[in-house]
Structure 1
Amino acid sequence: MKNIKITPSPLKGDINIPPSKSLAHRAVICAGLSSGISNIDNIIFSEDIKATTMGMESFGIEINRKDESINIKGKSQLKLIKNNINCNESGSTLRFLIPIALLTGEEVSFEGRGKLVSRPLDVYYEMFKDQGIEYKNNNGQLPLTVKGILKPGTFYVKGNISSQFITGLMFALPLLAGDSKIMVTTELESKGYIDLTIDCMSKFGVKVENKDYKEFYIKGNQNYISRNYRVEGDFSQAAFWIVAGILGANVKCKDLNLKSLQGDKAILNIVKEMGANVKVSKDFVEACESQTKGIVIDASECPDLVPILSVLGALSEGTTRIINAERVRIKECDRLKAMKTELAKVGADIEETQDGLIIRGKSSLKGGVVDSWNDHRIAMAMAVASIKCEEPIIITNSEVVKKSYPEFWKDFKMLGGIIDE
């Protein structure tokens, strides 16, 4: 468990934003379900993406990894060659691959570690009962073993727990012999992630009909078609550097698609509303040092931004309220509790509510020893907080950034961050 010490320093310079983890998961799965060869370019083998590629290999799909690309020889007829899939700590891998495993009719076990072991899967358990699919778990926790065949039909899914269940079903249902519907029984949160799924599937030749995010109609007997695909830059990772630019000096984020469907593109509107000086061009975003003010932030469509927006709120004038963020309690850690605890340690005025945070801003923070909670986004957010600390910050278990952004500390240094391991 590596700890790092960061001496406060402004960050400045140009950075190429890493590829979207969300889109990389989706592209790997769509390519794997295609007959033919696809090349996925601009991909980083974070721990989560490794879990998805290895999971797809369990279904007999040939995957050849190169430096920043991946060559996938897909199959429309899956053949299970390994019946134990280790999802590590990736919720996307687990929830996306369960319906795909049910295309094989074979017994498949899913295991994981960390918080993933206990993350909820009730949406699928209800579906298993309706469809007569056998399953067993460890008192509601992983490992989970499933056996059965997914059948076309109508699937009732809550929309306020995780959009990942809907995405998982969307991948598998077009390959069934009949048509299916997904009916969303509550208001759907994180619609942006569903948009990414539908868009990625359409690029691989499969159509999903979206009826106002309340119902999704999916024709059966469709075929995924192989293609070459480049993964665009990740707005959820760009958010850390955008806030770093606002707090520090000037950071230019390159390789972003300003027409992206990513829900976390909301970072641009949120920081502008807070008064940040952000210049948006065709293919880059430049964040300049600015004094921001507190606002009310509805996180229902961009939950992954909560940690870094908490940091910006803690260093903005007035009060920032983050609302509709209760779902982030069931991420890699309870992110509301984590940000309240760690920001309070370095002197922030912050309180936790059931569904969010109330943060009364200050001009600077103290510094001190903070913990990552084994969560990549907590570690990265607290690293950015160091810019406005009076004393160094020490982050314990800093290696956790490998989950999504293995080069984060290298990039932090490249922009002028002062790090001692």
Structure 2
Amino acid sequence: MDSIKISPSPLKGNINIPPSKSLSHRAIICAALSNGISRVENIVFSEDILATLEGMKAFGMEILDIDTDLKTNRSDITIKGKGYLEKLKEVIDCRESGSTLRFLIPIACLLGEKFTFTGRGKLVERPLTSYYNMFKAQGVKYSNVNGKLPLTVEGSLKPGVYELAGNVSSQFITGLMFALPLLSGDSIIEITTELESKGYVDLTLDVLHRFSINIENNKDKRFYISGNQKYIPADYKVEGDYSQAAFWMVAAVLNGEITLENLSKSSLQGDKEILNIISKMGANILNEGEHIKVTTSQTNGIVIDVSQYPDLVPVLAVLGAVSKGKTKIVNALRVRLKESDRLKAIACELKKIGANITETPDGLDIIGVSSLSGGIVDSWNDHRIAMALAVASTKCKESLIINNSRVVSKSYPEFWDDFVELGGVVDEWNMG
């Protein structure tokens, strides 16, 4: 078992925030669907991004060049798209990437040929009901194994009206937005409930526009998509990831002083809300030109509606655990269907180290304590749980051992290196 032992210490220094995984997926797909050569800059080859790259290669994308900065481990990729899709592989391995799976299924359905999508871990059982309903309405054949992966699809999408719930996952909406502009006729995506994770849809629309695909947004309730559009090659630099920056911001608030670089002040990322949340709780935040500096401060509990930024739940739970008073996280039901049941996972692990935290059906009730105890915790094979627990170590009295710590490679392969660079005291630990 891969484990990390962390001795409590403050985290201080500067950190270059890794590129947004959400934007990386989108830019790679748009470049691959273009007719010509695009350059996607500032990429980290996490497990999820590798899954999307391999998936798009199955449709004919070529990678002409990879230019990697060995100091930062950031890469610029030159991608050649053919302007049309072809079937080079029948089986597409999505690893544990929900984005890869849900983004690529509609693209496969443009070809009308048989494709099989596989995965591993929790992805195997993550729900695809929105697409199954679409398949039935569109006459697309599909089969799975008792509702789980592998999923085999065969059939073509047709222009028309696509009804999708807005409170399940924005990934289904994004997947259709990639594919529908390439159909021969016009389509509409009708959102049947309130749209949650709106920021992710905004990111999709923005990246599509950069590659010359235009979709009309009518108040986040109806999206009009003209057919016969063409993706035009573009150069795209991926901005820093606010969902990853959130871990360092909270770590600084708890015990440290961290300056964050490579974050866009004008970003459309929904997780940018982390700045407003920790500010409301009393955090010290300084905007220093192109950088954001966060320093240690006493925070107070508040009610946090996470419907638009569910990925922040684990690290906000850690912040709430050592804030004064009560923190209440609400509208988080969807995080039960992520890489782990994140409400159950973070509540279980924080309780082990002394937090006063209780699950509710759609959130968490947390009564703050002054410090945490330390001990042995588990990541639940979930990258965000592992990183959140690493942040919790800064407020522990004793060492914290995190089992299955290498799971961070799913989204942030350099996380432990950055943790040490900021002063974290880390040893690999053999659990025998």
Name the TM-score, length of structure 1 as normaliser.
Answer: 0.99
Residue equivalent to 1:29:
29
Matched, 1:405 2:412: yes
Corresponding letter in the other structure for 2:106: P
Q: Is the 8 A contact 2:36 2:83 kept in 1?
A: no
Specify which of 265, 270, 274 is matched with residue 277 of structure 2: 270
Residue equivalent to 2:67:
66
Residue equivalent to 1:18:
18
Post-superposition CA distance 1:289-338 (Å, at most 9, x none): 10000000000000000000000000100000000000000000000000
Post-superposition CA distance 1:15-55 (Å, at most 9, x none): 00000000000000000000010010000000000000000
In 2: Cα distance, 1:222 partner to 1:281 partner: 42
Residue equivalent to 2:198:
191
Residue equivalent to 1:370:
377
Name the TM-score, length of structure 2 as normaliser.
Answer: 0.97
Post-superposition CA distance 1:242-292 (Å, at most 9, x none): 001111120001010010000000000000000100112442211101000
In 1: Cα distance, 2:233 partner to 2:354 partner: 52
Q: Is the 8 A contact 1:208 1:218 kept in 2?
A: yes
Specify which of 160, 166, 170 is matched with residue 167 of structure 2: 160
In 2: Cα distance, 1:299 partner to 1:88 partner: 27
Specify which of 82, 85, 97 is matched with residue 90 of structure 1: 97
Matches within 5 A, 1:201-350: 201-350=208-357
Unaligned runs of 5+ in 2: 69-74
SS at match of 1:332: coil
Specify which of 123, 129, 134 is matched with residue 127 of structure 1: 134
Corresponding letter in the other structure for 1:16: N
Matches within 5 A, 1:42-61: 42-61=42-61
In 2: Cα distance, 1:330 partner to 1:121 partner: 11
Corresponding letter in the other structure for 1:66: D
In 2: Cα distance, 1:372 partner to 1:31 partner: 34
Moved over 4 A (4+): none
Residue equivalent to 2:71:
none
Q: Is the 8 A contact 2:329 2:363 kept in 1?
A: yes
SS at match of 1:279: strand
Give identity over the alignment, percent. 64
Corresponding letter in the other structure for 1:62: E
In 2: Cα distance, 1:383 partner to 1:333 partner: 17
In 1: Cα distance, 2:120 partner to 2:359 partner: 27
Corresponding letter in the other structure for 2:158: K
Matched, 1:388 2:395: yes
Q: Is the 8 A contact 2:376 2:400 kept in 1?
A: yes
In 2: Cα distance, 1:221 partner to 1:281 partner: 45
Residue equivalent to 2:7:
7
Q: Is the 8 A contact 1:123 1:157 kept in 2?
A: yes
Residue equivalent to 1:173:
180
In 2: Cα distance, 1:44 partner to 1:369 partner: 30
Post-superposition CA distance 1:228-250 (Å, at most 9, x none): 11000000000000001111120
Residue equivalent to 1:101:
108
Once the two structures are TM-superposed, the CA of residue 172 in structure 1 deviates from its matched residue by: 0.3
Q: Is the 8 A contact 1:95 1:164 kept in 2?
A: yes
SS at match of 1:338: helix
Q: Is the 8 A contact 1:258 1:282 kept in 2?
A: no
Aligned-pair Cα RMSD in Å: 0.7
In 2: Cα distance, 1:60 partner to 1:194 partner: 26
Specify which of 119, 122, 136 is matched with residue 112 of structure 1: 119
In 2: Cα distance, 1:294 partner to 1:279 partner: 21
Q: Is the 8 A contact 2:46 2:410 kept in 1?
A: yes
SS at match of 1:13: strand
Corresponding letter in the other structure for 1:46: S
SS at match of 1:42: strand
Count of residue pairs brought into register by the alignment: 421
Corresponding letter in the other structure for 2:307: S
In 1: Cα distance, 2:424 partner to 2:157 partner: 50
SS at match of 1:50: helix
Once the two structures are TM-superposed, the CA of residue 66 in structure 1 deviates from its matched residue by: 3.4
In 1: Cα distance, 2:14 partner to 2:53 partner: 31
